[in-house]
């Protein structure tokens, strides 16, 4: 297992404009390859855009979705990977032969599709079907997995992929800067984005405060630390439909330390070196070895009853 250089990216996507978004994906992939990166990861629905999908009918969503691996976006990503000699991870909406729709995230190398994950907890559109399995795949001898956005908020998912062998978990998101019951949450005024060159300070305060990065820091490093994994977090910057997002794509090591992060307001990449020794030096490695599943396996696996009706519980389709 050799060391890896992984890049995580942030960019301002254009809703429904695959050609534009793929052009930015290629540009940032070229930049990462020129700096020696083996892999680059983009945010959730980076090919299609994300937040605009909450307004789409089932037919409109079906029209923008693609078959995987036979759709045009996978072909383009494969061509980029061949030309640039880099592995690319990106997201889009998927459709299947039965007419079902999914939130998908793919890993593509020069030979084509290497891996695909369907979001386990989709909620942006009620016509999406939840995925029902974890994915483990290999990049240059490293065992990897993918969990999309809300999948990572459910702590059992990250532990599950770790127990299945993953040492690197790609965590594409479109998150932060939205209302919530948690203190300090809320939208960030799009006017601040328009004025980012004349008043960067106010925008940075909003992006780094409890509406954004400060909330992320309450839980994301713990996912890496508790499970002794590298967490590759990718998030858009700028306007996603009518919602402003704060970027801060980052790579967190098994100690829970940020080892690379995008900190500008621009389309940007950040690259980190991924090494083997941290996986076993980290506390999470010892915690996993100290597990006593006989104490809690039945508790964790017990059927869950919820008063909250969430989209992925919809079994009508």
- Domains within the chain, CATH numbers bracketed: 4-300 (3.60.110.10)
Identify the three-state secondary structure at position 214.
Answer: helix
Helices (H), 72-227: 72-84, 155-163, 190-194, 200-208, 213-216, 220-227
Residues near 120 by beta carbon (within 8 Å), at least 6 away in sequence: 130, 131, 132, 147, 148, 151, 154, 157, 312
Q: Spell out the per-residue pLDDT of the chain, length 317, in tens.
A: 789 999 999 999 999 999 999 999 999 999 999 999 999 999 999 999 999 999 999 999 999 999 999 999 999 999 999 999 999 999 999 999 999 999 999 999 999 999 999 999 999 999 999 999 999 999 999 999 999 999 999 999 999 999 999 999 999 999 999 999 999 999 999 999 999 999 999 999 999 999 999 999 999 999 999 999 999 999 999 999 999 999 999 999 999 999 999 999 999 999 999 999 999 999 999 999 999 999 999 999 998 777 666 655 544 33
pTM for this prediction: 0.96
Name the region of 13 (left: φ>0; alpha: ψ -120 to 50; beta: rest).
Answer: beta
Identify which of 164, 295, 299 has the alpha carbon closest to the alpha carbon of residue 227. Answer: 164
Are 203 and 228 in contact, with CB atoms under 8 Å apart? no
How far apart (Å, rounded) are the C-alpha atoms in residues 26 and 32? Answer: 10
How far apart (Å, rounded) are the C-alpha atoms in residues 315 and 317? Answer: 6
């Amino acid at each position: 297992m050799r060391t890896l250089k992984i890049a995580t990216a942030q960019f301002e996507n254009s809703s429904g404009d695959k050609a534009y978004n793929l052009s930015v994906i290629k540009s940032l992939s070229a930049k990462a390859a020129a700096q020696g990166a083996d892999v680059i990861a983009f945010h959730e629905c980076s090919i299609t855009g994300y937040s605009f999908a909450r307004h789409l009918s089932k037919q409109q969503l079906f029209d923008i979705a693609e078959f995987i691996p036979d759709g045009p976006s996978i072909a383009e990503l494969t061509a980029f990977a061949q030309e640039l000699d880099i592995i690319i991870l990106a997201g889009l909406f998927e459709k299947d032969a039965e007419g079902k729709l999914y939130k998908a995230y793919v890993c593509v190398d020069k030979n084509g599709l290497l891996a695909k994950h369907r979001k386990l907890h989709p909620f942006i559109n009620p016509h999406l079907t939840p995925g029902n399995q974890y994915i483990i795949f290999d990049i240059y001898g490293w065992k990897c997995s993918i969990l999309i956005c809300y999948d990572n908020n459910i702590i059992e998912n990250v532990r599950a992929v770790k127990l299945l062998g993953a040492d690197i978990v790609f965590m594409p998101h479109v998150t932060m800067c939205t209302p919530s019951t948690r203190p300090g949450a809320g939208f960030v005024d799009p006017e601040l984005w328009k004025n980012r060159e004349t008043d960067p300070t106010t925008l940075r305060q909003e992006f780094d405060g409890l509406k954004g990065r400060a909330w992320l820091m309450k839980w994301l490093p713990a996912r890496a630390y508790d499970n002794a994994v590298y967490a590759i977090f990718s998030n858009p910057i700028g306007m996603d439909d009518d919602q402003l997002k704060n970027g801060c794509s980052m790579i967190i090591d098994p100690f829970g330390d940020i080892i690379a992060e995008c900190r500008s307001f621009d389309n940007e990449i950040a690259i980190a070196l991924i090494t083997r020794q941290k996986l076993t030096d980290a506390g999470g490695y010892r915690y996993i070895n100290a597990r006593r599943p006989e104490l809690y396996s039945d508790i964790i696996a017990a059927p869950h009853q919820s008063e909250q009706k969430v989209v992925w519980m919809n079994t009508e389709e």
